[in-house]
Every structure is written in structure tokens, then in C-alpha cells.
Amino acid sequence: MNNRLPTGLYQPGDSAIHRLDALAKILCLILLLAAVVNTTTIPGYLVLTAFTALLIRLSGVSLASALGSAARLRWFFLIILLMNLCFYKPEQAWVSWWIFRPSAEGLMQGIHVVARVFLLLVMSNVLTITTAPLAMTGAMERMLSPLRFVGVPTDLVAMILSVAIQFIPTLLEETDSIRKAQTARGARFDSPRLLEKARAVLPLVVPIFLAAFKRADELSLAMEARGYRTDVKRARKKYPPLRRRDCFALLLCTALAAAFIVVR
């Protein structure tokens, strides 16, 4: 019954954002996040929202998929906003009614939280939608590689990460087929009653775990059969250097982050 793609799933494309190097994109995201958490004013959020809109536009991704999980959290956002509004600074409340003490500071604080989480979600969504999972793990490997000199097994970490990420679609697919099999024999996942919903989790979770363990087992055997060893040095993959457009994106994001930190 579920015909929705998971949010943030990679969508192949050839936009300006798609073509950026994955490492540059991750670093840009970190810089943008720095800008987001250093924003304290509403115009600041507006600038960042406009920038995010520009990113979505450039990436050619549909607004619906870019907003993805953020849109699904709208009730959460609303509740956070209301709670902040009513309980944040009761001393300076506009009115006082029962336990509710809404204040201007509360409203501002609510906007902070909601805007930050929203921007964070959408920006990281754009990253994962425009970056192939393998490029992402490659970039993480490059980011971690300096730790090699202090004895961290970065090859292993990168391998673990890439295996984990590659298995997400497989496990999602498996979850879907298990859900269908159990639905067909009478499990009620879509029941409005909470107790039934909770009870329906077990027939889903047990098989998924079993399947995941089985897959892990098979994969480790397959890797060993093809000569994967952890005790020998592996050939290192060569990554192309950052290009001009990557440097430009990095500079732009650095400037933005710096501006927000200074203005603060």
C-alpha cells in the first residue's frame, strides 16, 4: 500500500548541485549548518531560506521531495512553536491563563527552534537527494583519512559505512515484502487502534532482524571469498582533485557562514 519513496533517497540527475564533488557538498553543508545555528534574527532566517530555495531550484529536485521529512514533521513543528510560545519566559507574559503564559520571547524562541530544524532537515535532504550513496561514503572516507596517522582504521570505517548505506534500500525492500506477506495473512498495520498497531510491530521486526543478520553473514562470506582481508593494506582509490566549481561553492558557503558569525 506504501507507494511513497523514502525521503532523501538519491535521485540521479545532472544539475549544478548533482555535479559538485561529494566532499565539497558535505563541507558546504557543515558550513551552512554553522550559518544556521548562528542566526539570531528573522531576516537572517529569510536569507537562509532564500538560499535553500535557490539550492533546491539549482538541484532540479521537486519541492515536494526536497521538503520531504520536514513537511511530514509539520505537527511537530507546530507543537514546538506553541510550547515555546506558552512556556518559555513566563515572567514577561502578555497574558496569563491557567498554565499558559505566552510571551514575545517565547514566540521568538519557538521560531528559532522551528526555523533551525527545518533548514537543517531541508539542506541535508538536498544533499542526500543529489549525492549518490557511494560518492557520499567516498567523501566520508576522504574526510576521515587524516585520522589514519593516529591509528584509526579509516579503511575499515569507510567500508562499514558504505556497506551500511548500500544495505538501506535492500532492507527497505525486504521490510516492504515482509509487511505485505504479514498483511496478507491478517496483520493489521494500518489499524487506527494503538494497541493493534503496537502488536503488529513484532511480526515485522523479528523477520527484518533475521533477514539483516542473514544478509550480513552472507555478505561477509562473499567478501572473504573474493579476497577481502582486513590485515593487508588495500589499494587506495584515487579521487579527482576538487574542481573550480567545488572551490567556488566552498568559498560561497564559507563567506555565508562567516557573515552570519560576524553579524551575530
Can you give the binding site for other proteins, defined by CB under 8 A? 1, 3, 5, 11-13, 62, 65, 174, 177-178, 180-188, 202-203, 206-207, 210-211
Minimum CB–partner distance for residue 94 and other proteins (Å): 45
CB-nearer residue toward other proteins: 100 or 213:
213
CB atoms within 10 A of CB 85: 21
CB-nearer residue toward other proteins: 134 or 210:
210
Q: Are 262 and 40 in contact (CB under 8 A)?
A: no
Minimum CB–partner distance for residue 156 and other proteins (Å): 30
Minimum CB–partner distance for residue 218 and other proteins (Å): 13
User: Computed over its alpha carbons, how large is the radius of gyration of the chain?
Assistant: 23
Minimum CB–partner distance for residue 206 and other proteins (Å): 4
The DSSP call for residue 231 is S
CB atoms within 10 A of CB 185: 8
The DSSP call for residue 146 is G
- Whole-angstrom distance, CA of residue 222 vs CA of residue 150: 31
Grid-cell match 512556556, residue found: 87
- Whole-angstrom distance, CA of residue 102 vs CA of residue 85: 5
Minimum CB–partner distance for residue 91 and other proteins (Å): 50
CB-nearer residue toward other proteins: 92 or 191:
191
CB-nearer residue toward other proteins: 65 or 162:
65
CB-nearer residue toward other proteins: 3 or 233:
3
- Whole-angstrom distance, CA of residue 103 vs CA of residue 64: 33
- Whole-angstrom distance, CA of residue 77 vs CA of residue 114: 6
Which of left, alpha, beta for 10 (phi over 0: left; psi -120 to 50: alpha)?
beta
Minimum CB–partner distance for residue 8 and other proteins (Å): 13
CB-nearer residue toward other proteins: 187 or 250:
187
